[in-house]
Amino acid sequence: MGGNVDRRGVLRLGRREFAAGEYAVMAVINRTPDSFFDRGRTYGFGAALEAVDRAVEEGADIVDIGGVKAGPGDDVDVAEELRRVAGLVAAVRERHPDVVISVDTWRAAVGEVVAEAGADLLNDTWGGPDPELAEVAAKHGIGLVCAHAGRVTPRTRPHRIGYADVVADVVALTTELAERAVSLGVRRDAVLIDPAHDFGKNTRHSLEVSRRLGELVATGWPVLVAVSNKDFVGETLGGLPVDRRAAGTTATLAISAVQGARVFRVHDAKAARTALSTITRLHPPT
């Protein structure tokens, strides 16, 4: 279960090294016309590139470029996903040589092209449905996010999914995927695990994962959390819509940081940077 990993180790992604106790902000860049949060605001190439520039200026260490909406929607094949993300990756690599470029994809065919274009990290939010994606990361010497999505088909919302112990399931699957990635040649210091709040989980499950995030941190693998404006935040606060979940997002980020999470995937890089800087002063890493 990853127990032999140096839990205080350095995380190395692209040209960046993140020391133990150092928080990394990952800014979401959606090249989709139908994302739940920005409703296509950064779908256009120029708008997406401007969003990257703004995120970097506001303190993002990583930009996470995605070409497929996470939830159900219109079919997006490999060719269309690549049309949306590959050119943007290349442009960002030229424009921001030091920023870590992540691509949110579960497809090895996409991973191969974006790695050639300059990506430093493949963010597999669906938990390994394409086993060759880890091989792509190994081949190109780049990082990999190993997530827990309840073993569901990408872009689906399972009906009445259940777990005997959701956190135990998250720990077991993410560490299994992480160890497999390393066995295939992915650098150990470039692998992260992600509980994937709301993916294959209901609100109760996502809250339980948030409360017990320290159990994931205790595995030694760097933990990424992606809670920004998600449905479990809105439902917990009485059914708040997406545009009123900022405070709940910040609170969840704080709880995650105090428990030892390392990377934070967010829509508002500036707010996250400010919150994490405050947490560092109030609760210095031990």
Per-position pLDDT tens, the chain of length 286: 333 334 458 999 999 999 988 999 999 999 999 888 887 899 999 999 999 999 999 999 999 999 999 989 899 999 999 999 999 999 999 999 999 999 999 999 999 999 999 999 999 999 999 999 999 999 999 999 999 999 999 999 888 899 999 999 999 999 999 999 999 999 999 999 999 999 999 999 999 999 999 999 999 999 999 999 999 999 999 999 999 999 999 999 999 999 999 999 999 999 999 999 999 999 887 6
**Structural domain total, the chain:** 1
DSSP code, position 223: B
> Per the structure block, which two tokens stand in for 206?
């996502």
- R_g of the chain, CA atoms, integer Å: 17
Q: What is the pLDDT of residue 276?
A: 96
Considering the domain boundaries, does residue 157 fall inside one?
yes
CA separation for the pair 111, 117 (Å, rounded): 10
Considering the domain boundaries, does residue 5 fall inside one?
no
Considering the domain boundaries, does residue 4 fall inside one?
no
Residues 6+ apart with CB under 8 A from 209: 166, 167, 170, 195, 197, 201, 216
Q: What is the pLDDT of residue 21?
A: 87
Considering the domain boundaries, does residue 180 fall inside one?
yes
Domain range enclosing 155: 11-282
CA separation for the pair 108, 135 (Å, rounded): 8
Q: How many residues does the chain have?
A: 286
Task: Name the pTM for this structure.
Answer: 0.95
Q: What is the pLDDT of residue 126?
A: 97
Match 């990082």 to its residue by tokens. 143
Which CATH number do you get for residue 188?
3.20.20.20
> Per the structure block, which two tokens stand in for 170?
């998250």
Residue 145's φ and ψ, nearest 5 degrees, are: -100, 125
CA separation for the pair 81, 68 (Å, rounded): 7
Closest CA to 65 of 57, 73, 74, 56: 56
Residue 246, CA atoms < 13 Å, CB-side half-sphere: 9
CB burial class (10 A; 0-12, 13-18, 19+) of residue 189? middle
CB 126 within 8 A of CB 198: no
Considering the domain boundaries, does residue 237 fall inside one?
yes
- SS3 category, 60: coil
Closest CA to 257 of 23, 59, 28, 60: 23
Considering the domain boundaries, does residue 3 fall inside one?
no
Q: What is the pLDDT of residue 3?
A: 38
Positive or negative CA dihedral for 77, 82, 84, 89?
positive
Q: What is the pLDDT of residue 286?
A: 63
CA separation for the pair 41, 16 (Å, rounded): 29
Q: What is the pLDDT of residue 1?
A: 37
